[in-house]
Structure 1
Amino acid sequence: MTEIGEGRQSMPSEAQGKTKAKKRYLRRKKERRKHKKAATSKGDKNVKVAESSNVTDSEEEEEEQDSVVTDSPVVRFEGGEGSQKTSEGVDVHDERPKKRRKVDQSEDAKEATPHEHSPEPLTSEVTDRLKSPLPALPSFPLPIHPNAPSKRDLALQGLDPALVHADIVDSSTVLPIADGEEDESTGLTERTRKRLKDLGISELFAVQTALLPFLLPPDVTQRSLYLSYAPPRDVCVSAPTGSGKTLAYVLPIVDILSSRIVTRLRALVVLPTRDLVTQVRETFEAVSKGRGLKIGTATGQHSFTHEQTQLIADGSTRLQGGSSKVDILICTPGRLIDHLNGTPNFSLQHLRFLVIDEADRLLAQTFQGWLAQVLSATRTSHLQSLSAVDGVDRPHHPSPDALSPVSLHLSTEFPEFHTDLDEKKESSCQKLLFSATLTRDPGKIAALELRDPRYFIVKSGAEKADALDVVEKFTIPATLKEQMIVCDSAQKPLMLFYLVYTHNVTNALVFTKSAESTTRLVRLFEFFQSVRQPSEDQGEPRRVVIQSYSSDSPPSERKSLLERFKGKEIHILVASDLISRGIDISHVSHVVSYDVPVDMRKYVHRVGRTARAGRMGEAWTLVEEQEARYFKSMLKVADHLEKVKRLRVSEKDLAPLLPSYELALRQLKEAYSRP
């Protein structure tokens, strides 16, 4: 009993500690009831608010009751079913607090708002629409990448449409020179055809048969020196090296300019090298013999003052129409710019032909923007009247000045009256571009300012006749046989000696990468010949004459070397790329690239020194082992790898030459080590 009494006495003390929470609970409960009564008396609009508050109240009551149950003394179950005992051992009746039943406020709300009308029943159409399934959204295909454009479509982007429709000429086409007064097939005059036969030329090659009828039309008026109202179309020609491009423009220029009365600069031929200038001049002089045409050159080989006296007839009087002693000028671009800027009365306004030979190389040169200056000089926009230049009003008296028809409006002697019927005048200059390749670069083509150009492409008949397939691809003569030898760098001179003495490589051009390597190779070859022992099978070795040809040599010496090589006094000419373009030496049967060319363009121009004009020829390339991959990839890109065969040379083949080669190397080393 004492324990029970002590337990009962301790319970009020614990209850007193919980009275504050109970008081707060009761106080909130009274407030909620007041709010509930006030809410029910407000009408239909507050019914929903009361419902939400009741729900909140019930939730709060549940939370409070949970807290009360938690705060009650801990109870242990002992003994029977209906008895419990607290932690102090006091028995407590098994009476758990019951949760209040939640009142369905939705029913009360319905009863409290009898005046609300029930929603109208749905019609059958609405019911059917609700029961029918919703239409499915339209299905869209998954995004995919567009098809990549074909190579042909990509090639057409930015390409001149005229180049796409270029005239493809079969390289095997040959046309005999006709006899008689007229030749409708080529348009050449009887006098020109007679001169060609005197030179031993009895037939025309493919590029000539295609170009001559275009440049020499049957209508005589189209052959006039001035065509200001109907200017001629420009021409671009792509043909293999040695196919006769030089004669293709020499013949029409000579035929048309032969009708001139007064000497004016009417034909300008721009070439990349001095040696090529000399060769083209010889061709002009041979064809124009007896025509009275005056031909001049400007290459920088002579002094600037000397060239001025050779080109200009009157340099003291200031003439807008210019003054000239020559009808045809053959020059390099650098010297041409010098005369345009520094020679008085040097004018291009009377030009009838502007020829750019080896155009791929010349267009790559940016020396003083030579092309833009030349094209500007052919127009009249850069010309001004003399009074506008020096500010002096000149008296109106006759002068020997002679402007071109397109520049007559600048004359101070005769006023020009304009009417609504005036036709536009343009320069009569016809641009002729020749190269082994045609560029497809839109920027370069636009810089040429071509006027309605026409393209001619000479290709072998066995190849696909499509302009897109040959643009910027390299044309090689069909009669050329190409081979390469892959070797160690230390064996390259030995491989050259092997070709000379085993494959009988004479009448050959050997190309190196620099003038220094040219000189060194020639000295090594001379040492090799001096120490070479005669073989038992072949007896005394034949003597091979070899010389170097490079930019280090003076012009007079280079000219003498070429003459001796043409006369077969020199068997092998070792040269840099100085003469790899345009030089025509008919008896060259072999070309050896001692050093691999840096690009395909140089390779084409090197091998193009042989197999010219339908003759047979062989080209050899000595490739170092570390250069083999690059050289093959270069040929593969140009679609030319299959045409270059590989020649394998064994040590057994080189054994007879090896002792002499090693001895020659020692002598060369001693020669270069001397002070």
Structure 2
Amino acid sequence: MTSTSIPPQIPKDKTKAKKRYLKAKKDRRKKRATQTNPSGSTIKPLPHSDEDDDADEEYSNEAEESNVTLPPQIDSNTDKHPRKRRKVEEDTAEESAAHVSPSSSREPSPAKDAQTSPALPAALPSFPLPIRPDAPSKATLALQGLDKALVEAELVDPSKLYPLKESGDDTFSGLSEKTVKRLKELGITELFAVQTSVIPFLLAESKQRSLYLPYNPPRDLCASAPTGSGKTLAYVLPIVEILSARIVTRLRALVVLPTRDLVNQVKETFEAIAKGRGLKIGTATGQHSFAHEQAQLVGDKNPNLQGGSSKVDILICTPGRLIDHLNGTPNFSLQHLRFLVIDEADRLLAQSFQDWLARVLSATRPSSTDDALPNVTAPDCDPSFELPHPDAMAPAYHHLIHGVPHIHTDLDERKESSCQKLLFSATLTRDPSKISSLNLRNPKYFVVQGATNNLPTKEDAVMDLVMEKFSMPATLTEHMLVCETSQKPLMLFFLVHQHSVSNALVFTKSAESTSRLVRLFEFFESLWAQENAGPERKQTVIRAYSSDLSASDRRTILEQFKNQEIHILVCSDLISRGIDISHVSHVVSYDAPIDMRKYVHRVGRTARAGRTGDAWTLVEEQEARYFKNMLKAADHMDAVKRMRVSEKDLTPFMPTYEKSLVKLREIYVK
């Protein structure tokens, strides 16, 4: 090792402190030399040189120059201070262990000194670089702003069934013996999943059966269930059960539906269940003149009746006609309303109809006392004024009676409307703004999740509802056929004659497409029957059902289809919601639906109430990518099976199809 030259230093005089420090160092070395190791052998003292003294002296000088406090010195008084003695012994033991270690060396290593020397402090503190946070999941974003009651919705197993009792009142559902007997007469022996949840909720407590609940209004209800699961009967039964106790006829149940056909269907259900109960059921759809509907709904047109007048207990209507009666029918009042049912809620809430929802909700709530004061008229001001009967007004509206002073005290309990809102749909809205516009009162949500092998958890079911992953009936089989645009009619003929597609609904995109397809199919069937005549050959009957037809024509065609006099009914989306025709076994989407909601409601016309059904979708080649992405977004791609049809399969129908096109062209050319 090459030694480096050290420049000579001028020795300095030793102070008393330095002398004491050096003396203590020598004493410690002597004491360390006399200590023995655990094995009993004596440790030899290390050689001591003048270099050590010079190093100590240098250390002492540096400490003195830098104003560093030196270690406490040991003198003859150390034994008199126990703390000082213990400190000296600890220092001695540490230094002894360092000398005993075989790896220790008296010569310091420059590399080691470089490693162990403390690093100089940085000029500025270092901070970690900013990290971009992970984006929130789709589920987290979907739940933002939602009603807490929707997130905490009750999950209902779709396979749940409840058999009705043979006789007597049903304690589980709350239905009376008379209602159970009527259901048995109609062939209904069990309740479906949505009915086993909704009906007990509405009829469980006896106090909830009252017609007026101004001090304890009932909770509102929202139910989401697949098409064909029995939602209509879920609200018809409780309404009939509760309103059967009424004495005076008042408008106490209002059912709002999007189409006239649904209004007629729900009316038939009410009439069938309420037979023999004395309840009066009316409709308002615009099929009849406005004056005729007024005469059917209102009995007394006396303008002094503040409580209104009604000839019906239950009114089933469309929103547009409802607003007409609220604006132009005297004594048409909703203050006695006990039930407000919004069926197909997602569609109705998406359409304004002259802001019908806000108008209806306002008509069910009483105005404040301050708003009513300007209209108060004292009896002595007008001798001809006759005080109306108080029982004509609902309890929550008594403070509005003309001529009767209202004295409000702090002890008075607040009276609220007894109206209970019931919302039903297969695709319940998830828009927070639309849900908040309903002013729901402590709502209860029921979610009937589609049948699967492994029923998901409650959170998964609610997320499927929120993320619009719609559920389908378990007995439904779905197919997809990708073809060229010119081959779509040929594909329909192929399904009818090769796959026995009958008792079917065929959906098109417009009324014009409906009429054109029906004409082409009639030409094809006529020519096909001539070319393939046989004793057992029956011609398929097809008809159009669209908004171009009058209400009476639509009703006649629908009755013929229900009686199976018509085998195929070609229609637009007018009939895709809510219509229940029990024998429909096939649904064909001739024009592919543009969104998942339309697809759900179309295929929901079959496989209803536990029956089997098939759904066929004809997809043009340029539409295939969009249609598949739509199914993937709803996590439904695996449920739709693709069916491939070769040219060989279509060859037998080509000659007849070409002749039919020639006839159709002649009609449109003229």
Shift of 1:671: 1.3
SS at match of 1:451: coil
Q: Tell me what 1:583 maps to.
A: 579
Does 2:440 match 1:450? yes
Report the equivalent of 1:224: 210
**1:621 and 2:613 are equivalent in the alignment:** no
Q: Which residue of structure 1 aligns with residue 662 of structure 2?
A: 666
**Which one has a bigger Cα radius of gyration?**
1
Q: Go from structure 1 to structure 2 and tell me whether the alpha carbon gap of 1:469 and 1:126 turns closer, same or farther (over 3 Å shift).
A: farther
Which aligned pairs between 1:500-515 and structure 2 lie closer than 5 A?
Answer: 500-515=496-511
1:1-40 to 2 correspondences below 5 Å: none
- Match of 2:408, SS state, is coil
Where does residue 159 of structure 1 map in the other structure? 146
Structure 1 residue 539 displacement after superposition: 7.6
> In structure 2, what is the equivalent of residue 175 of structure 1?
162
- 1:78-93 paired onto structure 2 within 5 Å: none
Shift of 1:322: 1.0
Q: Where does residue 64 of structure 1 map in the other structure?
A: none
Q: Is contact 2:376-2:403 (8 Å) kept?
A: no
Change (3 A) 1:322 1:555: same
Q: Which amino acid aligns with 2:667?
A: A
2:263 alignment partner, one of 272, 277, 284: 277
Q: Distance in 1 between matches of 2:615 and 2:333?
A: 44
Secondary structure (helix, strand or coil) at the match of 2:320 reads helix
- 1:42-83 CA deviation, whole Å, 9 max, x = no partner? xxxxxxxxxxxxxxxxxxxxxxxxxxxxxxxxxxxxxxxxxx
SS in 2 for 1:355: strand
Match of 2:238 in 1: 252
> Does the CA contact (< 8 Å) of 2:451 and 2:474 recur in 1?
no
> Are the aligned partners of 1:320 and 1:386 in contact in 2 as well (CA < 8 Å)?
no
Aligned to 2:180: 193
Residue 150 of structure 1 aligns with an amino acid whose one-letter code is S
Q: Which of these residues, 373, 378, 382, is aligned with residue 359 of structure 2?
A: 373
The answer for the alignment partner of 2:559 in structure 1 is 563
Aligned length: 552
**What is the CA deviation profile of residues 120-151 of structure 1, one whole-angstrom value per residue up to 9, with x for unaligned ones?**
x99734689xx997544544221111232233
**Contact 2:255–2:315 (Cα < 8 Å) also in 1:** yes
Could you tell me how far apart the structure 2 residues matched to 1:666 and 1:654 are? 18
- Structure 1 residue 184: Cα displacement: 1.7
**Offset at residue 588 of structure 1 (A):** 0.3
Cα offset for 1:397? 4.1
Alignment partner of 1:469 is 2:464: yes
Aligned to 1:436: 426
* Gaps in structure 2 of 5+ consecutive residues: 1-61, 70-116
Match of 1:117 in 2: none
TM-aligned CA distance change 1:650 to 1:394, over 3 Å: farther
* Aligned-partner residue type, residue 520 of structure 2: L
Deviation at 1:312, TM superposition (A): 0.6
Q: Which residue of 1 aligns with 2:65?
A: 124
Q: 1:288 to 1:134 in 2, by over 3 A?
A: same
C-alpha displacement at 1:673, in angstroms?
A: 1.1
Q: 1:141 to 1:425 in 2, by over 3 A?
A: same
Alpha-carbon spacing, 1:281–1:173, altered in 2? closer, same or farther (3 Å): same
**Counterpart amino acid of residue 626 in structure 2:** Y
C-alpha contact (below 8 Å) 2:251/2:312 kept by paired residues: yes
For 2:388, the equivalent position in structure 1 comes to: 399
- Deviation of 1:182 after TM superposition, in Å, equals 2.7
Work out the CA distance in 2 between the residues paired with 1:302 and 1:536: 47
The one of 469, 476, 480 equivalent to 2:476 is 480
Superposed displacement of residue 645, structure 1: 0.6
Residue 602 of structure 2 is aligned to residue 606 of structure 1: yes
CA separation in 1, counterparts of 2:118 and 2:551? 101
The change in CA–CA distance for 1:394 and 1:162 in structure 2 (over 3 A counts) is: farther
1:544 touches 1:571 (CA, 8 Å); kept in 2?
A: yes
What one-letter code is carried by the residue in structure 2 that aligns with 1:163?
A: L
Distance 2:387 2:302 in 1: 17
* Mapping for residues 636-651 of structure 1, pairs under 5 Å: 636-651=632-647
Tell me the SS of whatever aligns to 1:666. Answer: helix
1:533-591 per-residue CA deviation (whole Å, 9 max, x = no partner) reads 66789887431011111110110010000111000000001111111111100000000
* Other structure's SS at 2:340 match: strand
Deviation of residue 529 (structure 1)? Answer: 1.4
Q: Trace 1:406-417 onto structure 2 (pairs within 5 A).
A: 406-417=396-407
Label 1:468 to 1:132 Cα distance change in 2 as closer, same or farther (>3 A): closer
Q: How many Å apart are 1:497 and its aligned residue?
A: 0.4
Letter in 1 for 2:196: T
Q: 1:464 to 1:535 in 2, by over 3 A?
A: farther
TM-score of the aligned structures, taking structure 1 as reference length: 0.78
Partner residue of 1:529 out of 522, 525, 528: 525
Q: Partner of 2:354: helix, strand, or coil? A: helix
In structure 1, give the amino acid aligned to 2:405.
P
Which segment is superposed worse, 310-319 or 185-194? 310-319
**Alpha-carbon offset, residue 180 of structure 1:** 3.5
The whole-number CA distance in structure 2 between the counterparts of 1:318 and 1:171 is: 51
Q: Is contact 1:534–1:540 with CA below 8 Å preserved after alignment?
A: no
Distance in 2, Cα, partners of 1:305 & 1:504 = 48
* Structure 2 counterpart of 1:282, one-letter code: E
What displacement does 1:672 show? 1.3
Task: Give, in whole Å, the separation in 2 of the partners of 1:382 and 1:560.
Answer: 49
* Percent of aligned positions that are identical: 68
Does the Cα contact within 8 Å between 1:498 and 1:654 map onto a contact in 2? yes
**2:548 aligned with 1:552:** yes
Cα displacement string for residues 87-144 of structure 1 (whole angstroms, at most 9, x for unaligned residues)? xxxxxxxxxxxxxxxxxxxxxxxxxxxxxxxxxx99734689xx99754454422111
- Does structure 2 conserve the Cα–Cα contact (< 8 Å) formed by 1:518 and 1:548? yes
User: In the alignment, is residue 210 of structure 1 matched against residue 197 of structure 2?
Assistant: yes
Retained in 1: the 8 A contact 2:378–2:403? no
The 8 Å contact of residues 584 and 605 in structure 2, kept in 1 or not, is answered as: yes
- The letter for the 1-side match of 2:422 is L
Residue type at the aligned position of 1:187 = G
Q: Which residue of 2 aligns with 1:652?
A: 648
SS at match of 1:532: helix
Q: Given the superposition, is the C-alpha separation of residues 149 and 387 from structure 1 closer, same or farther in structure 2, using an over 3 Å criterion?
A: closer
**1:295 aligned partner:** 281
Which stretch has the larger CA shift, 417-426 or 584-593? 417-426
1:116 matched to which residue of 2?
A: none
Preserved CA contact (<8 Å) 1:437 1:473 = no
Deviation, 1:156, is 2.1
- Within the candidate set 479, 486, 490, 2:486 is matched to 490
Match of 2:73 in 1: none
Tell me, in whole angstroms, the C-alpha distance in 2 between the residues paired with 1:513 and 1:569: 25
Q: Deviations over 1:261-304 (max 9, x none)?
A: 11111000000000000000000000001111110000000011
Q: What residue number does 1:518 align with?
A: 514
Cα distance in 2 between the residues matched to 1:240 and 1:405: 38
**What amino acid does structure 1 have at the position aligned with 2:450?**
S
1:482-510 Cα shifts (integer Å, max 9, x gaps): 00111010010010000001100000001
Q: Contact 2:202 / 2:208 at 8 angstroms: preserved in 1? A: no
Q: How far apart are 1:379 and its partner, in Å? A: 0.7
Relative to structure 1, is the Cα distance of residues 521 and 133 closer, same or farther in structure 2, using a 3 angstrom cutoff? closer
Please state whether the residue corresponding to 2:488 is helix, strand or coil. helix
Instruction: Answer yes or no: is the 8 Å Cα contact 2:464–2:470 preserved in 1.
Output: no
